[in-house]
Structure 1
């Protein structure tokens, strides 16, 4: 299935989430939380991520996970992931209990597409420290995509992981899953990277971005993705394809904030003071830019049409 038609299908079925100029959302993606082994690329940034979660929770943001939050291709047991990063999941549970957590699945955690799998594995988990089952995300619903719709202007933001239409990671994802689970996982332990991933292949990365930019041009709708692991924040007038980046970079993690009707690309990184003390710092890489700056509908033209219709009515 071609990327455009696949995206049209996902857009049509996306869950709608209303927002306004008082709303605050943070979009993270591709953290690929693993089992905290040497193959877990999230492990080196887990403290940065936890610090960022604390910041967003304390400042009343709603957390949106843009797919591939958990690495379920290399790790078959979700409980191992949760127990390896229990402090992170405890903080995510606080978001969920407060009604401020939304999750979409990506290709690496496509198991979450199944409500039965989510109920069995994510409603509750076995806590190794307590020695009993505890609630995690009871009643959680995981979606393929969201359509954020402004209550007043009706401007939309389409949020989707970004693997849709990428043949080897979408329609043939079961093949990639098999290869990574039973071959590349062990190669990963000695430092070999999966070459078919857009995050590791510049050619595939640009192909994905090109296809999604084309969809954006046809639909004039802001689109926020992950998948390629490359953060992207266009200038007004350019194609409004945004990418959250990922949580696996050696230099830290990136995310997008939607706050008071404006988008900001943010990096969370470790810095050092003169005395050698390390600290985690939030840095705005680009923005804030009002989302209305990406609305290509000319207001003047709309006004002219309105005046013309009034004049016709008077005649």
Structure 2
């Protein structure tokens, strides 16, 4: 199956949500929440993530997570991930309880596509703050794709993880998982990057982005993915955007969708004039509106 067909297939049974002037969505991807060990790349940015989610909860955003939310290639235990990042899951649970959390599975958490994962693993978690077992995501369905249907009939926004553009990380994902878990994980601790990862290999990254951009152009849709960890916002002539990730050393990135417009946003630590540290929301580049696209 070609990359084009794999991308199309991810939208055969999507989650469909409305998009209008009053809609507020925030799109994160590639959090790679881990178990708190040295290979947990999310841990150092968790305070940024928690601060961002508190902001988006207060401002009535719906949270869309585009896959690789949890690092389930390097780690076998989701329970260990939940206990390590209790504060993050407390916020995710609050979004879910308000019907404001929808999730797509990626390649590193592809096990979430199995119904028994949701039934056995997502019902509850131990809330560290309240020191008790609390409801997490009971009955959640992890989708392969999400479609935001434009109520003004201009242009819909299609969202998926993006690994479908990469043969090794989609069709051959069991092999990739084996290599990551038993080969590249220990080598990475010695400073050797994984050459099979689109996020760490510029050639693979550009190839994946080319496939995704071509699909969006040919289908006439706006497309938002993660996977490559390369944050970018589309232009009026290019309908492809990427959320980036939550594991960059410089901060975390996401895409806000408000007033039928897309804004790439970075959350990072910043020093105030009084030498105190604070978490800052930083818009990156220009906001692009759906009506600006010419496909």
TM range (shorter): over 0.9
Runs of 4+ in 1 over 6 A off after TM superposition: 128-132
Match for residue 92 of structure 2? 92
| Equivalent position of 1:25 in the other structure | 25
- Offset from partner CA, 1:135-168 (integer Å, 9 cap, x none): 2111111101011101232521010100014111
Mean Cα displacement is larger for which, 123-132 or 106-115? 123-132
Mapped pair 1:60 → 2:60: yes
Please name the residue that 1:281 is paired with.
280
- Decide whether the 8 Å contact of 1:79 with 1:126 is kept in 2: no
Structure 1 match to 2:77: 77
Partner SS, residue 255 of structure 1:
strand
Tell me, yes or no, if structure 1 residue 195 matches structure 2 residue 195: yes
Determine the structure 1 residue equivalent to 2:249.
250
Q: 1:292 deviation in Å? A: 1.5
Q: How far apart, CA to CA, are the structure 1 residues paired with 2:68 and 2:105?
A: 6
Cα distance, 1:179 vs structure 2: 1.5
Cα pair distance change 1:193/1:153, threshold 3 Å = same
CA contact (8 A) 1:220 1:295 kept: no
**Structure 2 contact 33–81 (Cα < 8 Å) conserved:** yes
Whole-angstrom distance in 2 between the partners of 1:272 and 1:129: 28
Please state how far the C-alpha of 1:295 moved relative to its aligned partner. 4.4
Mark the runs of 5 or more structure 2 residues left unpaired by the alignment: none
2:200 equivalent to 1:239: no
Contact 2:229 2:244 in 1 (8 A): yes
Gaps of 5+ in 1: 297-315
Structure number with larger C-alpha Rg: 1
* TM-score, structure 1 normalization: 0.90
Give the alignment's TM-score, normalised by structure 2: 0.95
Equivalenced residues, count:
295
Cα root mean square deviation, aligned: 1.6
